[in-house]
Structure formats: C-alpha cells, structure tokens
A and B are shown apart, each in its own frame.
Chain A
Amino acid sequence: EVQLVESGGGLVQPGGSLRLSCAASGFTFSNYDMHWVRQATGKGLEWVSAIGTAGDPYYPGSVQGRFTISRENAKNSLYLQMNSLRPGDTAVYYCARGNNWSFDYWGQGALVTVYS
C-alpha cells in the first residue's frame, strides 16, 4: 500500500524558515517524480514544487528562490526547505507522487502557519 506521511509543519514568524519532510513507503520511491502541493484554508490547490527522478527541481514563480525541494532515495524521503516565509505561505502542504503529469497518491498534509 502506498503511503506518504508529512511532518515538520508548525508556526513560524514572517521571514523565518521551516523544513517539511515526507516519508514514502509501499512503492519504489526512486522511480517516481515527487511533488509538494499546498492549500490555504478554504482555498484551492496550488502546486509548489516538483523533483524528478534525477533530482532535477521545478518551481512556480511564487516560491522560486525561497523554497528548495530535495529527495533522499536511500531513505525514501522527500523534503521541502522553506525560507523567507510570508503570511501568504500559510497552508496545508501535501506531499504527492507524480505519475504521467498527475498526482496519484497524496499524504495527509502538514499545516504551516506564518504569523506575526
């Protein structure tokens, strides 16, 4: 059974940093692209970052230069380093497995709150 479990969410002040982790199991992690997708309370889904099987990262303009995605295949783990956080980054962050341009499995999410 595919499982994705996020951790590392919490409260942080504007300008601060936070690192999210996602532990994957039930599939060959190294064979899949992985993504982070976020959702502010009551709002829609927003793609935040992706990493290919070769470790190549991709970001939208809203987080480019502030967020860094990485993976550690030996540990079946995905990470998201978030720097220079803003109140607008407050959201639930989901780890998701990529499959042919879709997201076929999702974690339960980790809440990140940026407050002043």
Chain B
Amino acid sequence: QSELTQPPSVSGAPGQRVTISCTGSSSNIGAGYDVHWYQQLPGTAPKLLIYASNNRPSGVPGRFSGSKSGTSASLAITGLQGEDEADYFCQSYNSGLSAWEFGGGTKLTVL
C-alpha cells in the first residue's frame, strides 16, 4: 500500500492556477527522498514532468513547478491549458518498504 496520498481529482478553467498535493510519510518524503512528478496523457505512457521536487526536464514548460515541505509536496500548474488535461502522479522512494512508490494519481480536468 502506497504511503503517498493525492487527491483523486482537481479542476480549473483555462488560464487559472491549480495545485496537486502529495502527502507522504517519515519513510519517504520526510526521510529526505526526492519527489518526482509524472504527467500521463490519455492513452500514453507516463512522462517525467518534475524531478527532485522542483526541476523541469528539458522541454517541459515553465508553467509547471514543484515544491516540497516536510512530508508533503505539491505540483502547481499556472496558465492552465486544455492540453494539460491528464493524470498526474507523484513518486518517491520508501525506505521502510525498500520500494519505489507512486501516489494514487490525480485526474486534472480543464473546464
């Protein structure tokens, strides 16, 4: 059972800002392991969106940003666009389970 918790869904209108939370534990985020975020567009493989809490791979727009504090992390998307409609997953490493783990995923709907 994953120890990373995400809201099942969030929504926002085009141009707005939305945030997705990822609540962890003392065995993953709280233990100092980085948080990474993935975007999965419908019918495609996941894509790394943010790594090490707040770094964007080449090609990822600056509208996407991440942060981490204590045992939680957040993904923020500003200037929401229709193409951002996707599932978003946070990921970290759990030292208690000795396993890489993912949050349950959050479905973003652009209204």
Stretch at the interface among A20-28, A39-47, A69-77, A82-90: A39-47
Q: How far is the CA of A44 from the CA of B22 in the complex (A)?
A: 14
Assess whether A44 is in contact with B34, with CB atoms less than 8 Å apart: no
Number of contacting residues on B, CB 8 A? 25
Kindly state whether residue B57 has any CB partner on chain A within 8 Å: yes
Given known pairs A44-B89, A44-B105, A45-B89, the reply for A101 and B100 (CB within 8 Å) is: yes
Pick the residue among A37, A103, A107 that contacts B48 (CB under 8 A): A103
Give every chain B residue within 8 A of A46 (Cβ-Cβ): 102
Assess whether B51 is in contact with A102, with CB atoms less than 8 Å apart: yes
Q: How far is the CA of A103 from the CA of B103 in the complex (A)?
A: 14
Q: Which residue of A lies closest to B93 (CB)?
A: A101
A-B contact pairs, 28 of them (CB 8 A): A37-B46, A44-B103, A44-B105, A45-B38, A45-B91, A45-B105, A47-B100, A47-B102, A50-B100, A58-B98, A58-B99, A60-B97, A60-B99, A99-B51, A100-B34, A101-B33, A101-B92, A101-B93, A102-B34, A102-B36, A102-B48, A103-B36, A103-B48, A103-B100, A104-B48, A104-B57, A107-B45, A109-B45
